[in-house]
Structure 1
């Protein structure tokens, strides 16, 4: 096992940390659930990736992350529990294990009131103030990097892989520091435009950037009923494009709170709170003066996950008053009572507390945090008596035992086979739990994103016959064969390898990032060449340039389909198109 392809199997031991399973796989590290002295921890192990062109920097990044964490000791910031080296020489840091939901999951599962959301952000601002006083900047604040602990509802800031501190070595090779596009302050993009010809220019990340990111997080929780989904959200960081206030998007939001959010995400950094200590005070004063309108959920539960009612075959009035929801309800009820039976039977796969389904086997990719939507919304926590009927797989059909009364009045056991239509009416995770054979997401034909053709022709100078080599999922090595989850978001990258065609080097050079979604085409869908993984990338970002809409498709042979995931090579060529095939 080389350092570049490091994977720790279940049962492996690293300095006394017993590996249970993989929790997550990021660009420069792999995180495992481990156990020591009977307690769970998270073990983050640095990895070296040829595709990233950063095999030397991964170690430096882990050293910097560990150093950063050792500078902090706060109840709302993830705490280190030890560090060292694996046998392969890769550095690791052991962290406390937080049993909780991401902020987005918490919003959808617990339906918090506006007051509860505001309380969380008061705590986050206070934790950031503590961090900033010590010269530490997180630089990648977003909804998935804050967990709400289930035991006490307290938020915990996690993932310091992009963090830095005063006098730390600069590891950035591009104009902007690492981070996530949506949460970047608009002045970062202005900096890129102003210094586009200065290759050594580096943006100086500031506390004002951190405040902007926190404001985007709060805006998204207040305006988006389903923040775990990959929705098309309002652009908040375009220096020229105005956005609607939180109150205009969601009238439930009190105007004073909406005004506060606007100051946090102001395009003018001087109009934002001067620092996170001032922001913490302002949020706290706002919380203490909040009235009855803050005691309502930011969105009605029916706007978020009405699947509890759907599982019982009952459409809530609130859902039926909403046209988009009404369409989903109609599709769900059209599947008949058998769907309700199937959904109820799958409740055994869900913990009563509302957790995600049981984790996938240890050798598989990390479990999904927000299952893709087939036609119904993904199941929310449901309080239904545990089902006793067994769910079995047999060939391409599903047999479900359901009670039937005999002529003598005694219950009998009969086998119910779910039809393809009934399976299609379920969400992906529920369909997988029920053993539906066709629980894959197939791409439908539709037009390219608005402006894609013009951007490809005029800005990128791409042609219809252009083809580019990609690492399809930048979290894994290009030489690997990996598992993709149909319906999930995928970020591809042009690798730094020798032999790329001159044409690609000119118009899609190494480091170019493609953003899209994975799909699966099985041989049962009329595909003559056998099953395939299809990835449609609809956005691209060349190094040092702005993100643009595109139409770019990769279709590569599938080597297997199991547990709702498709196996394929992680490096393949794709094509520029003017319409999705």
Structure 2
């Protein structure tokens, strides 16, 4: 086959600290206070396709994670539950999530298998590793710890099959990396449970040999790829590449799926070209892990661990160099404008008490890039060919006999020198308080493939609604611009009932929705055309903006002005098949 093959890129909702799955668990969570074995449920930590994970407390006050897996959801789920229990008893290592107990519940008529797991407090590896100021040495140390845990797994003939940042936690206190979520792990010799070409996993981390097998056996009844240690090592390469560069080795395909052609035949862009802070010696390890065949990678996790250990001992690498230098925080709009006005000679904020600026592109050299719509379009000082402004000479010492209003008026006029047009009008204290209407865009079709992706890949229903937000700060309006993105609040369980159950997992929390906004008759309307998940997976979508009363558009809030739309921080989006 010469044509590229693409696949959808589903994601797990949350790391489950010892197990995960592909579709949402359909049993309502147990209320706090429920007793399971000797432990008492305090709340939900996460949920996946095969389980809900609870935070529980023992009679001695010890906190743990308790994973509840159904035993009556069909033979595959039942067998997978017992298999996870079996895997947990084989794996004991500081860099692997620890299983500390198991049983069945309720005791009289068991319907669930419970696994009691070590509760690991700490961020996921990507949350930790992409933080500003994280050093090269720290990132390599965490990779070395994960490799050590993988070596123990592989020695026990267990393949993880879902290595990714979301399944690696950085333990608070010690700072050590811990690999979790063995729910889709495989022990050599076990029977195949999964129906379909590929075992459970996350497509952006899938090895080239898996995609090659899929191409070679497409349409073949019963064909199933069996992952090995090399698959885990390739996934480690993807993890390291993301920590070094903040992006995946390969861009997603145009329709949002995995670009299999690139994974099979293209070489990833060298990390140091994406991020010049990446040392070449570290880059070499990363690119070897991303080799197209298992034989070209390291012989195993032990060899990877030894390579990372030798790498860490080198003295020609600056280990304390930050991979992602801390950016200067964006200047608040009022602070930036204050400096602009100071450049023309007067502290206008003091003189006028309020001011408005119009959208533009220019900004003083050396400043951070302006936030959309908050730069000054006119020069900050008169041009050289402008007529000089003559200053009256004082003929007597001391201030001239000028009234306070006149002095204030002169100060305002002097502050506004060099400004023109709307900026001058705003500077003189006569701003327009409502953003001007933009012509409403004509009716238009959804982006190519959006309807099919929403109703097929994501499982959305037309006219389905979901709460979204610009900010999680309630009770205060937020400023938005033409292309300000919105974020999904909680997981979007497509097709779910009003309690959140019965649907299937579609988009994870904090998925970014982007598109275009415009103002018409005092309301802000939006057409959102792309969803981008926290892992960087993109989907074409077709969503219109509603207020929380399900009216189309959002009402402008007080404080709106030219170039400045103020709206409520929470809104609703609705699935449509066309923008009207």
Q: Which band: TM-score by shorter chain?
A: 0.5 to 0.7
Q: Deviations over 1:246-280 (max 9, x none)?
A: 11111111112111211110113221001111111
1:269 maps onto 2:269 in alignment: no
Q: Distance in 1 between matches of 2:442 and 2:71?
A: 38
Q: Deviations over 1:92-142 (max 9, x none)?
A: 211111111111111244732101111111111111111100011111111
Give yes or no for contact 1:6–1:47 (8 Å, CA) kept in 2.
no
1:200 maps onto 2:242 in alignment: no
1:45 maps onto 2:62 in alignment: no
Please point out which of 1, 11, 14 is paired with 2:36.
14
Partner of residue 326, structure 1: 368
Give yes or no for contact 1:254–1:294 (8 Å, CA) kept in 2.
no
Please point out which of 38, 60, 63 is paired with 2:79.
60
Please point out which of 300, 303, 307 is paired with 1:278.
303
1:75 maps onto 2:80 in alignment: no
Partner of residue 297, structure 1: 322
Q: Distance in 2 between matches of 1:512 and 1:22?
A: 17
Give runs of aligned pairs for residues 176-255 of structure 1, distance below 5 A.
176-224=198-246, 238-255=263-280
Please point out which of 536, 546, 553 is paired with 2:542.
553
> RMSD between aligned alpha carbons?
5.3
Q: Deviations over 1:60-97 (max 9, x none)?
A: 22222221111111011010121123337122211111
Aligned residues: 413
Q: Displacement, 1:481?
A: 11
Give yes or no for contact 1:533–1:566 (8 Å, CA) kept in 2.
no
Give yes or no for contact 1:45–1:93 (8 Å, CA) kept in 2.
yes
Give runs of aligned pairs for residues 350-429 of structure 1, distance below 5 A.
none
Q: Distance in 1 between matches of 2:375 and 2:191?
A: 59
Q: Deviations over 1:499-547 (max 9, x none)?
A: xxxxxxxxxxx999889947699xx9989xxx999895689xxxxxxxx
Please report the TM-score for the alignment, with normalisation by the length of structure 2: 0.58
Runs of 5+ consecutive residues of structure 2 not aligned to the other structure: 1-24, 338-361, 377-440, 470-485, 496-502, 551-567
Give yes or no for contact 1:448–1:550 (8 Å, CA) kept in 2.
no
Change beyond 3 A, Cα 1:124–1:84: same
1:144 maps onto 2:166 in alignment: yes
Please report the TM-score for the alignment, with normalisation by the length of structure 1: 0.58
Q: Displacement, 1:281?
A: 0.6
Q: Deviations over 1:403-431 (max 9, x none)?
A: xxxxxxxxxxxxxxxxxxxxxxxxxxxxx
Change beyond 3 A, Cα 1:16–1:165: same
Partner of residue 157, structure 2: 135
Q: Distance in 1 between matches of 2:211 and 2:51?
A: 27
Change beyond 3 A, Cα 1:490–1:57: farther
Q: Distance in 2 between matches of 1:69 and 1:446?
A: 56
Q: Distance in 1 between matches of 2:455 and 2:52?
A: 25
Partner of residue 406, structure 2: none
Give yes or no for contact 1:482–1:567 (8 Å, CA) kept in 2.
yes
Change beyond 3 A, Cα 1:331–1:128: farther
The structure with the largest alpha-carbon Rg is 2
1:102 maps onto 2:124 in alignment: yes
175-184 or 107-116, which moves further after superposition?
A: 107-116
Q: Deviations over 1:9-59 (max 9, x none)?
A: 22222112211221112222111211112111111122599xxxx754333
Partner of residue 487, structure 1: 487
Q: Deviations over 1:163-203 (max 9, x none)?
A: 11122231111101111111111121111111111131110
Write 1 or 2 for the structure with the bigger share of helix.
1
Q: Distance in 2 between matches of 1:233 and 1:469?
A: 15
Give yes or no for contact 1:43–1:94 (8 Å, CA) kept in 2.
yes
Q: Deviations over 1:353-385 (max 9, x none)?
A: xxxxxxxxxxxxxxxxxxxxxxxxxxxxxxxxx
Q: Displacement, 1:212?
A: 0.5
Q: Displacement, 1:488?
A: 3.5
Q: Distance in 1 between matches of 2:442 and 2:258?
A: 25
Change beyond 3 A, Cα 1:239–1:98: same
Q: Distance in 2 between matches of 1:489 and 1:35?
A: 28
Partner of residue 395, structure 2: none
Runs of 5+ consecutive residues of structure 1 not aligned to the other structure: 335-443, 457-461, 475-479, 496-509, 540-547
SS of the residue corresponding to residue 278 of structure 1 reads: helix
Change beyond 3 A, Cα 1:38–1:564: farther
Please point out which of 20, 30, 48 is paired with 2:52.
30
Q: Distance in 2 between matches of 1:121 and 1:151?
A: 18
